[in-house]
Amino acid sequence: MHDSDAVVPAEADTDPPLVRRRQAVWRCYRDDRAAAGAALAAKAREEFGDHGELWYAEACCLERVGRFIDADQAFRRANRAGRFPIALPCRVSWRRFQRAVDAAIAALPDPLRDAFAETTLVLADYAEPSLLADAEEPELFGLFEGPVRSERDHGGISPRIHLWRRAHEHGCGSVRELDAEVRQTLWHELGHYLGYDEDELDALGRG
């Protein structure tokens, strides 16, 4: 499997005790144990105070369990935090996310369009925990799963490209930025299917 860029803040607190707490929260989030993650984040805030990274991780966990009002409040607290504030996520409806994906597909050049027709596109809000088992970060924009084109067995597993809405929301500050990121992620994952190396992926606009 090949992953696209991870969703991470531009700058992170490197204090070891806080890093351990933060990693524990995100591990719960990634493993679809978001309720436990939210509780861990709230407890960590009692120790570390008004910290944007902890508010943000808690917000993502609350969002994942459907507590959207609480999540939005926590995102705002993360944005206003006295230490390591984090920008608010971009919000798009599922239909708007699909439109961004459709636009990215329509913009594919012919070689990538042909390759895309050979893959299965999977859209979801969140990645299944098994897909992130080898990832170092709690979220990815997208992921390619399956054999590369040169090794494909037409009787075997279909190559899949995964794109995740919530990760794009969390990693983008505007709808325009989200549209661009969806396009770059799709192109990047198609590049993995074609067996491109990092230099060739750079030529697609994202290495």
| Spatial distance between the Cα atoms of 18 and 189, rounded to a whole number of angstroms | 33
- Render 134-170 in DSSP notation, one character per residue: T-SSS-BSEEEES--GGG--TTSPPPEEEEEHHHHHH
Calculate the dihedral angle through the C-alpha atoms of 132, 185, 93, 77, rounding to the nearest 10 degrees. 70
Q: Which of 2, 190, 199, 3 is nearest to 110 (CA)?
A: 190
E strand or H helix that includes residue 192: helix 175-193
State the pLDDT at residue 109. Answer: 86
Question: Per the confidence metrics, is the pTM higher than 0.85?
Answer: yes
CB 170 within 8 A of CB 89: yes
Name residue 121's beta-bridge partners: 161
CB 69 within 8 A of CB 148: no
State the pLDDT at residue 207. Answer: 41
CB 121 within 8 A of CB 161: yes
State the pLDDT at residue 131. Answer: 92
State the pLDDT at residue 3. Answer: 59
78-130 tens-digit pLDDT: 999 999 999 999 999 999 999 999 999 999 988 788 899 999 999 999 999 99
Domains assigned to the chain:
16-80 (1.25.40), 90-203 (3.30.2010.20)
Angle in degrees, 0-180, between the axes of helices 34-48 and 52-64, rounded to the nearest 10? 160
| Averaged pLDDT, groups of 10, the chain, 207 residues long | 55 85 95 97 95 97 98 98 95 98 94 90 96 87 90 76 98 96 94 82 59
| Spatial distance between the Cα atoms of 42 and 90, rounded to a whole number of angstroms | 23
State the pLDDT at residue 7. Answer: 55
Strands of the 2-3 sheet, one edge to the other: 2-3, 142-145, 160-164, 120-124
